[in-house]
Amino acid sequence: MSNLDVWYARVDLDLVEQMFEPRMAARDRKVVARNLAKARTRDSMQAFGKLCGVVDGQTRIIADPALIMPVSHLQPAERDRLGFEAQLNSMLAKYRRTTGRRMTSTSASCGTGNTPLTSTPCGRPGC
């Protein structure tokens, strides 16, 4: 299993708890139950609330330099754009190789996802 597969793996915690509960001491069962209850309060919507906000009526990722930066804040001056796009294409190509599988677009109308930013079928970067 690759690191990426482990990152996206999901576990049915109730099933795991049922499997190990008979072998645990009462104190350990209480600790596990308390930790599982706490873990269930953490979800993607909690992260969404912390990382996003409404800007001009649209939900956007809130910049928190140097940790989180929207791509729009990183766009260079027009004269440097081609170099920036080439560098971004290179980084994306390297990332694609680390996934061990072909990356495709989430939109059926955008093509294969393997085209460079400057020649995407729909004109949107990253398609």
Mean pLDDT of 94-103: 76
The β-bridge relationship of strands 52-55 and 58-61 is antiparallel
Cβ neighbours of residue 100 closer than 8 Å, sequence gap 6 or more: 2, 4
Q: From CA 126, how far away is CA 115, in angstroms rounded? A: 8
Identify the pLDDT of residue 117.
43
Structure pTM? 0.38
Residue-range domain boundaries for the chain: 3-44, 75-105
Left if phi > 0, otherwise alpha if psi is -120 to 50, otherwise beta: which for 58?
beta
For residue 25, what pLDDT band results from cuts at 50, 70 and 90? very high
What's at 80, amino acid-wise?
A: D
The number of residues in the chain equals 127
For residue 65, what pLDDT band results from cuts at 50, 70 and 90? confident
Identify the pLDDT of residue 103.
54
Question: pLDDT averaged over the chain?
Answer: 75
